[in-house]
Amino acid sequence: MLSRRIGSVLGVGERREKLFRRLGIRTVADLLYYFPRSYEDRSTIKKICDLKDGEMVCIKARAQSNFSSRRVRKNLSYQKITVADDTGIAYITWFNQNWIMRNFDLTAEYTYYGKVTIRGKRVEMTSPKIVKDNKIEPIYPLTAGLTQNVIRSAVEKCMPYIDQIPEVIPDWVKEKYTLCGIDYAIANIHFPETFEKHEFARYRLAFEELLILQLGLRLLKQRRVEMTGTPLCETSGVASFVKKLPFALTGAQKRVIDEILSDMGREKVMNRLVQGDVGSGKTAVSAIAMLVAAQSGYQAAMMAPTEILATQHFESLTPLLEREGITVGLLTGSQPLSQKREVCEKIENGEIQVVIGTHALIQDVVKFKNLRLVVTDEQHRFGVKQRTALAEKGGSPHLLVMTATPIPRTLSLVLYGDLDVSIIDEMPPGRKIIKTYAVGESMRERINKFMLRQLSEGRQIYIVCPVIDESETLELKAATEYADKLKKTVPKDYVVGLMHGKLSGKEKDDIMSRFAKGEIHVLVSTTVIEVGVNVPNATLMIIENAERFGLSQLHQLRGRVGRGNHQSYCILFCQGGGEVTKQRMEIMQQTNDGFKIAEKDLQLRGPGDFFGTRQHGLPELKAANLYLDMPIIAKAARAAEVILSDDSNLNLEHNRFLRYKIEKMFAQTGEFGLN
Ligand code: ADP
Ligand code: MG
């Protein structure tokens, strides 16, 4: 049975079951759907003369010499041997592997799998594995305590169950798009005999994921299409509001505002996405939409993904709206209960016209008097469901979603197919390009001096610390230690602050407002400052372990500087990293254009990259890659359309597995079930 706990199938104990659970694996089905992240190709044997520097290969060779072995120091010894096939010689080195020599047959031919290094004409392999059978070996993502071998043999033991996996893709879809059956797919994603078979399997699994994803998104969207709302057309106050702003709106802002106001004036509810790169001035645009809603006699709500950002919006928008006679309120999760209650009361009786808040806004206790406009800021940080949850508070409000994550057109059709898109494609004047440098540890001293220079010129600095996603505690420790160390190195007159996700909302606000006022000069932080925060005097962003971040995330973080008139800088510290890291950092240095970066970002990610989809508020995909599998997206979209045209809510018996899979996929990201 697929739903059997893996402990009982594998005969493993509580402790090991717990380790599997950490990988999200509880049942046989979970394990069968736990896909390898890569493969070691031990099926093709290469000739030594054909080897290239840096590649992972198999060679078949015989010893040419005896072992030479030496103990270098207490815990370090090496074992070297020279081997050859009929095309050349390779020099092999192992470290601390004395046992290899013991059972080694100097006359036998072995297969070695490992990484090749070429120095001049010399071919070397360091720590290769001696492999027995020439297969394609799956490599699974691990967790501490579980090895490749443990996972691999667990999957092997579950293989007999594959014929019980229900087929969720309808036969006609499989035929039309030449997809293999689910049992073939699962068998060959784990243990493919050839890479052709693997690709056939992966293609099908990617198709399945993208089909389920799109069906889920369409089910969510169905609720909002063709809703009738209230026209909000009191726009006579806009001109004087705009006149009082400390800047003139850009042409792009004006155009987008026109698009929004014309939507809002209609009876059909607005579903509009505003895309604008970091710093393009989306807040002012949303302020005008909210102004019009309030002056038309209705309520508007704006939801931000973090407390820091909600508070900041509240602080910057309140004075602007209050002088037009509009009452503004703030609602966040960390407010004291009594305060929350008071705000909720005023929302319900209509005393508050514009409310700004976090997820707290979508809780059941929050009831609006006459909500007609919902703004979601930085929507990429919200899940698919949260995006619209606020709009379901009754009254069929107009919906405005704002995002700084630009995505390629084909993708946005899938992700926001129900939304009209406005693009703010112009930056406020006078912005300078943020100078970006990717550097290694050797530059540390120079960067430290540079920091001091910025500080002495009166500027402020952000430092973002490594994110260790497995453990929030470790992440916190790293940031804390970093801040402590920094306090000792920067002159006493500069204040170092520390910001992280574990602080209470009030503590976060405190630190952020002290930074905004210039009382804190250097802010060490985890990625909680990623979205939206606006401190124009901050001109230097230093990102540690930049190789661990996605490009779009780096771009967001970098967008915290360059918000004023001073030249700003972004320093990306990288620890090692391969060719892909190098390419990624190069892109960051070359362009400040969020669109280009987003596209490259998707391109450089492998399938199953967690951030790839999470960046867009989507569930995690395991087999598909949103960028590389664009052709599959289109096909799956057509299939989804036909399936829904037959059974618009997937209530029919033959669609029950599809429905189950959708619920499962969307539940993964903490979304609420579909109902
Ligand atoms: P984002 O699009 O990233 O949300 P913000 O709305 O936070 O950007 O705006 C970034 C900064 O630019 C803010 O300090 C804001 O006051 C300023 N700003 C917005 N529009 C203009 C404009 N037209 N001219 C000059 N500065 C502007
Ligand atoms: Mg913003």
Question: How far is 533 from 310, CA to CA, in rounded Å?
Answer: 9
Longest dimension (CA), the chain: 92
Higher pLDDT residue, 291 or 311?
291
Judge whether 421 lies within some domain.
no
pTM comes to 0.69
Note whether residue 654 is domain-resident. no
Same domain, 478 and 585: yes
- Ligand 1 atom closest to residue 248's alpha carbon, by position in its atom list: 23
Q: Same domain for 310 and 377?
A: yes
Residue whose CA lies nearest to ligand 1 atom number 5? 281
Indicate whether 450 and 529 sit together in one domain: yes
Whether residue 440 is found in the same domain as residue 313: no
In this structure, the answer to whether residues 257 and 347 fall within a common structural domain is yes
Dig out the tokens for 63 from the structure.
């010893």
Measured in Å, residue 402 CA sits from the centre of ligand 2 at: 8
Number of Cβ within 10 Å of residue 389's Cβ equals: 20
**CATH code, domain with 544:** 3.40.50.300
Handedness of CA 436, 440, 442, 447 (dihedral sign): positive
Mutation probe of ligand 1 site: the residue of 253, 427, 534, 555 with most atoms within 8 A of C-beta: 534
Q: Which atom of ligand 1 is nearest to the CA of 378?
A: 4
Quick one: average pLDDT of 132-151?
A: 85
* Closest ligand (CA of 377): 2
CA–CA distance, 540 with 526 (Å, rounded to integer): 16
| Nearest in space to 526 (alpha carbons), one of 506, 557, 500, 546 | 500
- CA of residue 456 to ligand 2 center, whole Å: 29
Same domain, 48 and 27: no
CA-to-CA separations, 480 to 243, 509, 637, in angstroms, rounded: 45, 18, 47
- Looking at the fold, whether 332 and 477 belong to one and the same domain comes out as no
Q: What is the rounded average pLDDT for all residues in the chain?
A: 86
Separation CA 364–CA 367 (nearest Å)? 7
Statement to judge: residues 372 and 337 lie in one domain? yes
Nearest ligand to the CA atom of 534: 1
343/259 same-domain check: yes
Q: How far apart (Å, rounded) are the C-alpha atoms in residues 507 and 505?
A: 5
* The residue count for the chain: 675
Q: How many CB atoms lie within 10 A of CB 25?
A: 23
- Taking the C-alpha atoms of residue 267 and residue 456, their distance in angstroms, rounded to an integer, is 56
CATH of the domain at 8: 1.10.150
Domain range for residue 110?
44-131
Q: Please give the pLDDT value at position 11.
A: 74
The verdict on residue 609 lying in a domain is no
pLDDT at 415 (0 to 100): 67
Q: DSSP states of 276-329 as a string?
A: E-TTS-HHHHHHHHHHHHHHTT-EEEEE-SSHHHHHHHHHHHHHHHHTTT--EE
pLDDT greater at residue 474 or residue 230: 230
What pLDDT is attached to residue 43? 83
- What is the distance in A from the centroid of ligand 1 to the CA of 284? 7
- 36-60 mean pLDDT: 88
Residues with CB under 6 A from ligand 1: 247, 249-250, 253, 276, 278-284, 404, 428, 532, 534, 536, 563
259 & 392 share domain: yes
482 occurs within a structural domain: yes
Closest ligand 1 atom, residue 249 Cα: 23
Question: Which residue's structure tokens are 């618009």?
Answer: 648
Domain contains 64: yes
Indicate whether 634 belongs to any domain. no
Of the bound ligands, which one is closest to the alpha carbon of residue 558? Answer: 1
Statement to judge: residues 466 and 557 lie in one domain:
yes
Determine the pLDDT at residue 609: 47
Confidence category of residue 381, pLDDT binned at 50, 70, 90:
low
pLDDT more than 90, % of the chain: 41
Q: Are residues 29 and 150 in the same domain?
A: yes
Give the pLDDT score at 421. Answer: 84
- Over residues 219-273, the pLDDT tens digits come to 877 766 667 889 999 999 999 999 999 999 999 999 999 999 999 999 988 989 8
pLDDT digits (tens, 9 = 90+) for 442-458: 899 999 999 999 999 99
The arithmetic mean of pLDDT across residues 52-69, rounded, is 88
Query: For the ranges 14-23, 311-320, 343-352, 612-621, which has the lowest average pLDDT?
Result: 612-621
Q: Is residue 158 included in any domain, yes or no? A: yes
Please tell me the predicted confidence (pLDDT) of residue 510: 85
Count of structural domains, the chain: 4
- The reply to whether 523 falls in a domain is yes
In ligand 1, the atom with minimum distance to the C-alpha of 281 is: 6
